[in-house]
Structure 1
């Protein structure tokens, strides 16, 4: 199937329609994938609907083996559509969904008429194909644990390595419509400076380090979705971290630092996520919070993740937060959508 964008790649701002189930099925291989990108059951609900392209995905950070950034081709994000984990054991990671251009039709193009019967049959076939891919024929690993498959676990199959000094990866971010010239130059200059500082050991990968191996006692709040919270100051958070910059194994990332002092609503408490490296479901026994509208920007990292569009949700310990209204806090909610 030919790409939809009138002879050229889709760009941010383009309005597209997700193609019919029959058209999508025709693009998939036996693994329910196109060029390594899996079409997941959670995506079926969007078939036939229209969305705006929010960003091209030409480069992503690699969280599978952390060997460096990866090059993707013919892939976009639609608005902030995220996987709800409904077909992946209730995974709560909330990853943004990759859309191959072949699965989309730019609005204004001619669309073939679809009969209701054919659409229902094709929808059933797409659901079967996607569902089978989610649960492989051998759904357990050597330890007997359930193994899940999704776009994140198959990220290496859908991409190729990109050298850190390959400046083409940055040029694409300017020419593909993801960034305007001034913000692009500002980000690139900052990235180069931070990379140099990190190379000479002047800044750490994790920005905060605790005073002891154990860190101070963690405060439990029992936060619920919708509650308004304030992110504590960097000094307060550092007091909860050990010498590795972690609190009970959860690290405080550099991308989280700008949110210190900000006020946000609790999106959800995370209890289970699919591990991108193994496909196994990880159960999270301790407090782990996602804040609404707070996502990794890919702009502050020192390991080559600049310009990454994945907007992964950071996980927060309750001891890094305080309820608004407690200890005289005032609601000053900030918007941090990327």
Structure 2
């Protein structure tokens, strides 16, 4: 993929704006033959929100590339809305619970106090259903297409760290407070200095082993350990300390293939309730629906806030191994 660079886009909506999701017929009129607008799919899971009024939760003008690791990309004319996450019902029951992207053309701004329109019934649009599938894999495995798998087509342009306008936009849109934007910039700057030191300096001169801010380093030797607590939704757990969790990670910071990152380490020691056990998720790179040998846990109210990824507003829902948790 050829990377291009452009300046920070200027969104028209901001956090807290009240909007109404247009009717399915209005939205369908904006889509091409692939059920997309500007390469972003409108998915069947989004139909249930048609006619509803929601507030803008985050302005989705940028996102972190979790497919090929090329950094931050820019998205135009899109937002995330409150309480609108994908339930995976049209994608094999995927449990990733991604925050949905809404193009501004699918929304209309409304003023508080305006009467609510009649709720339209949820309709089934064959075009949307047909475009949830990709060509099968070489072995005949079913593969899915969703907003997450197509993000690099919808947001092909890189937004470089040095583009200082993005940190101003983060504040102007209401995505973050000024202090949070400054923190994200400083963390990003520190991490780039660490990258340079690892490339140019001998190991003995590396600061904290050249690790990015948060300093998560796997310590396990050989096969990583596991635990089976059989946690169920509604149970209360405490996230173990960072030191305890690092003992379960290999040098790539993986436990049985599941990664633990700095954003997750921010929650160490916190108490939370179990929201769900996760057994299925879509591989963003291939579209394949993966079935986990060891189920993972989603915790209520815990999402990635982007502080280690220049305030990316995607708000991923982290997956937790049971060995990283303990019953309260």
Q: Give the TM bin, normalised by the shorter chain.
A: 0.7 to 0.9
Alignment of 1:53-132 (within 5 A): 53-108=56-111, 124=123, 127-132=125-130
Q: C-alpha distance in 1, partners of 2:117/2:316? A: 36
Match of 1:175 among 168, 172, 175: 172
Contact 2:278 2:298 in 1 (8 A): yes
CA distance in 2, matches of 1:181, 1:235: 31
Residue 115 of structure 1 deviates from its aligned partner by 9.5
Q: What is the SS of the residue equivalent to 1:156?
A: helix
- Asked if structure 1 preserves the Cα contact closer than 8 Å seen for 2:21 and 2:107, the reply is yes
Task: Kindly indicate whether the alpha-carbon contact (under 8 Å) linking 2:181 and 2:310 is maintained by their aligned counterparts in 1.
Answer: no
In structure 1, the residue matched to 2:318 is 314
Distance 1:69 1:151, change over 3 A: same
- Describe the SS at the equivalent of 1:51: strand
Match in the other structure for 1:213: 222
- Provide the rounded CA distance (Å) in 1 between the counterparts of 2:66 and 2:275: 23
Aligned counterparts of 1:169 and 1:265: Cα–Cα separation in 2: 34
Give the match for residue 135 of structure 1.
Answer: 133
Q: Which of 182, 193, 210 in structure 1 is aligned with 2:190?
A: 193
Instruction: Give yes or no for contact 1:230–1:323 (8 Å, CA) kept in 2.
Output: yes
Matches of residues 265-284 of structure 1 in structure 2 within 5 Å? 265-284=273-292
For 1:39 and 1:207, locate their aligned partners in 2 and report how far apart those are by CA, in whole Å: 37
Structure 1 gaps of 5+ residues are 1-7, 325-338
Alpha-carbon distance in 1 for matches of 2:58, 2:255: 33
Runs of 4+ in 1 over 3 A off after TM superposition: 113-116
Q: Which of 120, 130, 153 is the matching residue for 1:157?
A: 153
Report what 1:323 is aligned to.
Answer: 327
Q: Deviations over 1:221-246 (max 9, x none)?
A: 01111110111112211222223222
1:213–1:243 Cα contact (<8 Å) kept = no
| Equivalent position of 2:201 in the other structure | none
Distance of 1:186 and 1:135 partners within structure 2: 40
Deviations 1:42-81 (A, max 9, x none): 0000000000001101110011222221110000010141
Contact kept in structure 1, 2:21 and 2:108, CA below 8 Å: yes
* CA spacing shift, 1:17–1:184, aligned 2, 3 Å: same
Q: Which segment drifts farther, 15-24 or 286-295?
A: 286-295
Match of 1:330 in 2: none
Aligned to 1:204: 211
Find the residue that maps to 1:66 and give its secondary structure. coil
Q: Supply the distance in 1 between the matched residues of 2:216 and 2:310 (Cα, whole angstroms).
A: 16
TM-score of the pair, normalised by structure 2: 0.86
Aligned-pair Cα RMSD in Å: 2.3
CA contact (8 A) 2:73 2:156 kept: yes
Post-superposition offset of 1:114: 8.9
Provide closer, same or farther for how the CA distance between residues 245 and 183 of structure 1 changes in structure 2, counting only shifts above 3 A: closer
TM-score norm. by structure 1 comes to: 0.83
SS at match of 1:225: coil
Instruction: Summarize the alignment of residues 229-248 of structure 1 with structure 2, pairs less than 5 Å apart.
Output: 229-248=237-256
Q: Which moved more, 1:282-291 or 1:43-52?
A: 282-291
